Structure 1
Amino acid sequence: MPVPRHLVFLALTRRHPSAILLVVQLAGLLLYPLLESTRAGPLALSAFGIAVLVVTTRMVRRTPGLTWLSVGLALPAIVLLLLQALLDLRGLLPWSAALEALFYFYAAGSLVAYMMGDMRATTDELFAAGATFTLLAWGFAHGFVVLQAVQPGSFAAAVDPGQPRSWTELMFLSFALLSSTGIGDVIPLRPLARGLASLEMFVGVMYLAAVVSRLVGLTLQRR
Structure 2
Amino acid sequence: MHLLRMIVHTRRHPSAILLLAQLLGMVLYPFLEQTRYGHVAFNAFGIVILAFTVRMVQRTPGHTWICVAMSLPIIALLTAQMLFDMPYLQLWSSAIEALFYFYAAGSLISYMLADRRVTTDELYAAGATFTLLAWGFAHLYMAVQALTPHSFGAAVNPELARTWTELNYLSFALLSSTGIGDVIPLTGHARSLASIEMFVGLMYLAAVVARLIGLTMQPSKPVE
What is the TM-score of this pair, normalised by structure 1? 0.95
SS of 1:64's equivalent? coil
Match of 2:72 in 1: 75
Q: Distance in 2 between matches of 1:207 and 1:29?
A: 21
- The CA distance in 1 between the partners of 2:57 and 2:101, in whole Å, is 10
Aligned to 1:182: 179
Select 1:55's aligned residue among 52, 56, 59. 52
Q: Secondary structure at the match of 1:114?
A: helix
Please say if residues 11 and 17 of structure 2, whose CA atoms lie closer than 8 Å, have aligned partners that are also in contact: no
Whether contact under 8 Å (2:95, 2:139) holds in the other structure is yes
Residue of structure 1 aligned with 2:32, choices 27, 31, 35:
35
Q: In the aligned structure 1, how far is the partner of 2:16 from the partner of 2:45?
A: 17
CA distance in structure 1 between the partners assigned to 2:148 and 2:85 by the alignment: 22
Q: Report deviation, 1:14.
A: 3.3
Pick from 195, 204, 207: which aligns with 2:204? 207
How far did residue 153 of structure 1 move?
Answer: 1.4
- 1:5 Cα deviation (Å)? 5.6
- Which letter does structure 2 place at the counterpart of 1:191? G
1:87-111 CA distance string (max 9 Å, x none)? 1111111100011000000000000
Partners of 2:213 and 2:91 lie apart in 1 by 38
Deviation string, structure 1 residues 55-77 (Cα, Å, up to 9, x no partner): 00000010000110010011110
Unaligned runs of 5+ in 2: none
- Please tell me whether residue 115 in structure 1 is matched to residue 112 in structure 2: yes
Q: Number of matched residues?
A: 220
Task: Summarize deviations over 1:9-68 as a string: whole Å, max 9, x none.
Answer: 553233211111000000011100011010121111111000000000000010000110
Match of 1:139 in 2: 136
> Could you tell me which residue of structure 1 aligns to residue 150 of structure 2?
153
Task: Note the aligned Cα RMSD (angstroms).
Answer: 1.3
Q: Which residue of 1 aligns with 2:43?
A: 46
Find runs of 4+ consecutive structure 1 residues off by over 6 angstroms: none
Instruction: Name the CA distance, whole Å, in 1 between partners of 2:8 and 2:34.
Output: 37
2:214 corresponds to which letter in structure 1? Answer: G
Identity %: 64
How has the CA–CA distance of structure 1 residues 11 and 191 changed in structure 2, closer, same or farther, with 3 Å as cutoff? same
Q: Residue 217 of structure 2: SS of its match in structure 1?
A: helix
CA distance in 2, matches of 1:108, 1:150: 25
- Partner residue, 2:89: 92
- The one-letter code matched in structure 2 to 1:36 is E
User: With structure 2 as the length reference, what TM-score do the two structures score?
Assistant: 0.95
